[in-house]
Structure 1
Amino acid sequence: MAIFMSDLKAQIQTERDAARAVCDLKGDGSAECAVAWDTVEELQAEAAHQRETEKPKSSLEQYCDANPDAAECRVYDD
């Protein structure tokens, strides 16, 4: 199951806030603080990976997104 980019961004922000809270509570040098920031870094790495692997839409795909009823965009089931 893939995580959508918008969900991933929200999760990164949530984990970032949690990491700040943990570090404020436990201290910047604590193991809990390090683990919390590692989680943020892993999510950021996943977001970067998803951005790299996203295939850009072709001009026809962009056209069909804007004009779904156009003859060129019809899909016929066999």
Structure 2
Amino acid sequence: MTMTTIDEIKTTINDYKTGQKTIEQTILTAIVQARATCDLEGKESSNCLEAWEIVEELQAEKELQKQAKHRKTDLDIYCEMYPEALECLIYDV
């Protein structure tokens, strides 16, 4: 039995979940595979639509990760306002 492009996309997602691929690599691979799915099965096919939904979900995941990295803690905000506060001082040892 040969793998369909949807199966290949799911394999790519598993590679991402196990740390074998980055989210960017996964998205690029999923886009290529979604295009191939649509070329093979038609742009109105359920597999084509599913493939592009997966791409959109991956892109949303990347955006969530990006936002999570940029969230400031209360301490970060406090230290921006009061950099001279004891809690914010950094010492070289």
What is the TM-score of this pair, normalised by structure 2? 0.54
Q: CA deviation at 1:55?
A: 3.7
What is the TM-score of this pair, normalised by structure 1? 0.64
Which runs of 4 or more aligned residues in structure 1 lie more than 6 Å from their structure 2 counterparts after TM superposition? Answer: none
Q: Tell me how far apart the structure 1 counterparts of residues 70 and 33 of structure 2 sit (CA, whole Å).
A: 32
1:21 aligns with 2:36: yes
Q: CA deviation at 1:28?
A: 0.4
Q: Tell me how far apart the structure 1 counterparts of residues 55 and 36 of structure 2 sit (CA, whole Å).
A: 13
Amino acid at match of 1:47: K
Across the two proteins, how many residue pairs are aligned to each other?
58
* Superposed CA offset, 1:47-68 (max 9, x none): 0000011047x8xxxxxxxxxx
Q: Tell me how far apart the structure 1 counterparts of residues 45 and 32 of structure 2 sit (CA, whole Å).
A: 17
Instruction: List alignment gaps of at least 5 residues for structure 2.
Output: 1-15, 77-90
